[in-house]
Structure 1
Amino acid sequence: MSLADVLLAVPRLSTRDAAPQFAAAGLPVFPCQPGGKRPLTHSGHLDACLDAEAISAWWQRWPQANIGMPTGPRSGIDVVDIDVKRDGTGFAAFHRAVNAGLLDGEIARVRTPSGGMHIYFPATAHAPQRCWQAASAHIDFRGAGGYVVVPPSVAVESNGVAAYRLFSLSAAQTRPIDARALREFVDPRPTPAPRDSSGAPSGELLAHWIGRLREGERNHGLFWAACRLSEVGVRADAIIDVLGPAAARIGLGEREIERTVYSACRHTSGGTGGVSIRSFSPWTHPASDRDMRRMPWGE
């Protein structure tokens, strides 16, 4: 039995009956909050398994639990997540990526309760691809270290309860997605820090750049910009004076701005713990496996 077979079989089943179907197909599962995405087990997606007894025990304890499936090498499935939110959707960027040939090789598409889409691709065990989020494009990638909620799970939306449901299966040959190429296409990396005529980072231009950041990019963007100024010797209080007003205009609070700037200054003064600050950007933030469990990679 394949993933496609399971997706065809489970729409009329309860999650309690569907979870063993995924496991029987070699797809590890774990329970999530009924009507939601939060894992119910202590270690979240790290607890996912194929063991029939463990799965039965979980759903005896939580009969209405949604089904979570880890992405990446553990399940052999990577997922592109097209978001639908109040401030926009990822479908425009998705269609551009399709036309560019970056989303060929899918296994299936699953409609999410919000009206978005999960697009399933085969993952490669020898070359795992990490999760990422492109907030401005409203497209996320769930690979190694992430998970998705799968059919027939449900979610509580503003217009009622809606289910994750199979939208389509591909008849074409499947192949892994190049997640890095997709990210560069929908969310190009920032250009080097703006500099003035002397070659030093320009506080004015950095502030202008911060003013264009969107939700999901703001903290990392301020941190990155503060690092650029701190690296050339600008003091924390002066960085706050230069970047603070722009950060406040995009919704960051005064204390949040101060914490972020002082954290950037500590990092650039030698407390990086081996992380290269010059390579840090709002789109590349290192995290340990333990940190990844706490980050919102599950959809």
Structure 2
Amino acid sequence: MSAPTVHAVHENPLWWPPFAAAFEAEGVPVRQWLLTGDEPLDLTGTPPEGVWWSRMSASSHTRGHTRSVAHSRALLRWLEGHGRRVVNGSAVLELEVSKVAQDAALRAAGVPTPVTVAAFGPEQVLAAARAVMAAGATSVVTKHNQGGKGLGVRRFDDLGDLERHLASSDWVEPVDGVALVQEYVAPAEPFVTRAEFVGGRFLYALAASTSQGFELCPADACGVDGAPLFRLREGHVPPLLERYEAFLAATGIEVAGIEYIEAADGRVVTYDVNTNTNYNPEVESAAPRSGPREIARFLRSLG
């Protein structure tokens, strides 16, 4: 039986080469559907046959693709209405573009997350930070609800520094108007962990150094100068693996990276789910199985 055509829905060609190579190596035909927000969608038409895989990114607006998320919402609903097999479909997209939604779904699955407050505007951000620190946090972290690429992620140890930041040109309003204020969770070691999943099953884990901040995109196209930030955690199994797999099953997420901190106080705290996961080439060269090739095999199996 021939492999089904895979239709890859995304908006960033710079992230595509490792996947193109993997699909070619696995003999799986693939067609890119680049959604830059400028192409009309004929709802009276019929979608092509095949398996559809959504890689829409929460950070698409930072590349000038301000309509891509809305375009993706429309496309995925259209596909699902025609009964097409969609991997990481419309419900998953809503988790990709909302850390509030992620937090709620993780908590529902029994996965611990940081103390978090959603705030709407700079005044609420400052008030939320006061409340989080009054509850016992020594520092707070701000971030954008629709994030990716570390958007808006900054640590503040002092409320005065946060207040000055909010009044300066450095403060950037989140694209959806929602900012998060979280407790800062100190790691036991200076790294966070990202567990990769394909087909809802654990693939491998990598460690991401926090030495250069919080922009932890592992893709080669995101390259950061200096010492390598990523390494394979050979043999590491996420402490919350069973809960993660249950979370993925409950939400319909089939391909993702889940990021967590093994904290100095003994907790394991999960803070992000990335459903358009990219793969670091150095980690891939050391990993027992390749992320992109496992994706190609998984999608082939759905035809």
Is this a same-fold pair by TM over 0.5? no
TM-score (normalised: structure 2): 0.27
The two structures have a TM-score, normalised by structure 1, of 0.28
Higher relative contact order (CA 8 A, sep 6+): 2
Larger radius of gyration: 1
Q: Which has the higher strand share?
A: 2
